Amino acid sequence: MNIIHIVFVTLSIIVANEAKVLNKNVDTCQEILGDELIEEIWGYENVKDEILKYVIDGDFKRKTYDELAKFVDKFGARPSGTEVLEKSIDYMIDLTREEGLNDIVTEELEVPRWERGEERITMLEPRVKDISVLGLGRSVSTPPEGITAEVVVFKSFDELENTPDEKVAGKIVLYAPIFTKYGETNKYRTQGATKASAKGAVASLVRSITPFSINTPHTGSQTYGEGVIPIPTAAIAIEDADLISRIHARGEKVVLHIRMFSNLETKVSRNTLIDLKGTQNPEKLVIVSGHIDSWDVGQGAMDDGGGLFISWAAPVILKRLNLIPKRTVRAIFWTAEELGLIGAYAYEKAHRHESDNINFIMESDEGTFAPLGLAVGGSKKARCIVGEVLKLFKSINASTLVEEDAPGSDIGIFTGNGIPGASLHNDNAKYFWFHHTEGDTMNVEDPDELDLGAAFWTAVAYIIADLSEDIPR
């Protein structure tokens, strides 16, 4: 416990430096909420304790981990548009029905199916060396004979834009930014091919978007902009990117041969909706969610199997404990998140007419390590209400509220439209070590931390769904 406590303290310091934490001006929030609402929130302390005890020490102990492990071991990777993804959706429906929850709906939508084929990069000059590679989502193929060209290295888009086109045309662009934060650095992955193509490059590579590597390339999605020729694009491991960068910085010529093949088509998939109907206002929703698809590398245990299963667990735990809140708790398993939030966009469009009924929306998609609190988007009063709820979780070190205008990935579509929401804020300092790699396996998951996450996620959802007052917009 002493080591865990040290980790919590250390991470809290890091978070304070990287994110704006809610100014805990007690008088301000007390004035906004009023004594009556604060007293009501604290009236849920016993219910919160009941949920935590049941999951952490009771009959649900290790259930989340064990079910996730069975799921991951059975299906492995679940790429968008594949038969294995659809079978995994059927499996989750059956698993939910076994728990006595039958208010389940699936909603069909078209999704991309991008399938990687052969991928190989060889450095030909100044020496021969194989380069570890993973193509980026929706990348086009090289010609059958591949591409052989000189490399030009850029640390930023500004460097690229300030370089004359003739020094880029016909070459392979390598982006080699140092990882800062994911939200800042991944633009070189998502936009790199488009910007390189506009300058006449024949292919683009990106230094993997991660702070740590053991020669592990990290894949991810990218989208070609309008008006440019799609060019092959891939991620290479930090070690290879830094090697090429050092050689290039010395003024030596680096030549690569790239062979990449892939196929892109359209398939049909499904979002999955599971409702635990509310007792007084069943039309009003508190949504918990995670995405069920994954990349084709690794097993999708961390991204986003953990988030999927704590969201599955929330209505299951409440049903088992006969804790039925006033509003409906809806678990959503988003499909095709990895190739562009396809499932979330489809749900928002299909349910736009009833968006006023979403009281609060939650998503877990940055790991399910030890919970620290929530990253919350919404009005000042919404944040004050959630902040007061989080105070109930000091006993498990999960009382931190981080202010974010757009928390989460899938739910950003909803919070961007003024719907209050939150993503799980957890001890995920190593999340991007394994993100979008072969390393995303059950070895990353910890049963005790998953128990904490499931208990926390369930209790927060219940309290917000049962409060007498809606979360204001």
Q: Which tens digits make up the pLDDT trace of 214-225?
A: 999 999 999 999
Give strand ranges (E) for 68-161.
104-125, 129-131, 133-135, 147-154
Mean pLDDT of the chain: 95
Q: Which band of pLDDT confidence, cut at 50, 70 and 90, is reported for residue 439?
A: very high
Q: Catalytic: which of 67, 119, 337, 449?
A: 337
pLDDT, mean of residues 32-39 = 97
Rg of the Cα atoms in the chain: 23
Mean pLDDT of 331-340: 98
CB atoms within 10 A of CB 41: 22
152 or 6: which carries more pLDDT confidence? 152
Delimiting residues of CATH 3.50.30.30 domain(s) in the chain: 115-263
What fold characterizes domain 2-103+277-466? Aminopeptidase (3.40.630)
The pLDDT of residue 56 is 98
Q: Model confidence over 189-216: pLDDT tens digits?
A: 999 999 999 999 999 999 999 999 999 9
Look at residue 19 and tell me whether its pLDDT is greater than 60.
Answer: no
Strand 233-236 relative to strand 133-135, pairing: antiparallel
- Tell me the two tokens of residue 186: 């991944």
Burial class (CB in 10 A: 0-12, 13-18, 19+), 319: middle
**What pLDDT is attached to residue 392?**
98
Q: How confident is the model at residue 173 (pLDDT cuts 50, 70, 90)?
A: very high
Instruction: Say if residue 317 is exposed, middle or buried (CB neighbours under 10 Å; 0-12, 13-18, 19+).
Output: buried
Share of the chain above pLDDT 70, in %: 94
- Matching CATH number, 115-263, of 2.30.30.830, 1.10.1070.20, 3.50.30.30, 3.30.470.20: 3.50.30.30
What are the backbone angles phi and psi of residue 265, rounded to the nearest 5°?
-145, 180
Q: Which of 158, 233, 170 is nearest to 200 (CA)?
A: 170
**Adjacent-strand bridge partners of 120:** 259
Query: What was the pLDDT predicted at 235?
Result: 98
Given a cut of 70, whether residue 352 has pLDDT beyond it is: yes
Instruction: Report, as an integer, the average pLDDT of 169-181.
Output: 97
Has residue 8 got a pLDDT over 50?
A: no
| 449 is annotated as an active-site residue | no
Give the pLDDT band of residue 26 (cuts 50, 70, 90): low
The proportion of the chain whose per-residue pLDDT surpasses 90, expressed as a percent, equals 94
Residue 18: is its pLDDT beyond 90? no
Mean pLDDT for 345-349 is 98
What span, in angstroms and rounded, lies between the C-alpha atoms of 400 and 458?
17
Query: What confidence score (pLDDT) does residue 263 get?
Result: 98
Phi first, then psi, for residue 127 (nearest 5°) are -150, 165
Residue 76, token pair as written in the block = 């492995």
The residue with greater pLDDT, 2 or 276, is 276
DSSP letter, residue 168: T
Inform me whether the pLDDT recorded for 5 exceeds 90. Answer: no
Q: Is 76 left (phi over 0), alpha (psi -120 to 50) or beta?
A: left
134-159 pLDDT, tens digit each = 999 999 999 999 999 999 999 999 99
Per-residue pLDDT of 81-92, as tens digits, reads 999 999 999 999
17: confidence class by pLDDT, cuts 50, 70, 90 = very low
pLDDT tens digits for range 305-324: 999 999 999 999 999 999 99
Burial class (CB in 10 A: 0-12, 13-18, 19+), 451: buried
Q: What is residue 53's predicted lDDT score, i.e. its pLDDT? A: 98
Does 4 have pLDDT greater than 50? no
Residue 16: pLDDT band (50, 70, 90) is very low
SS3 (DSSP) at 2:
helix
Average pLDDT over residues 276-285: 98
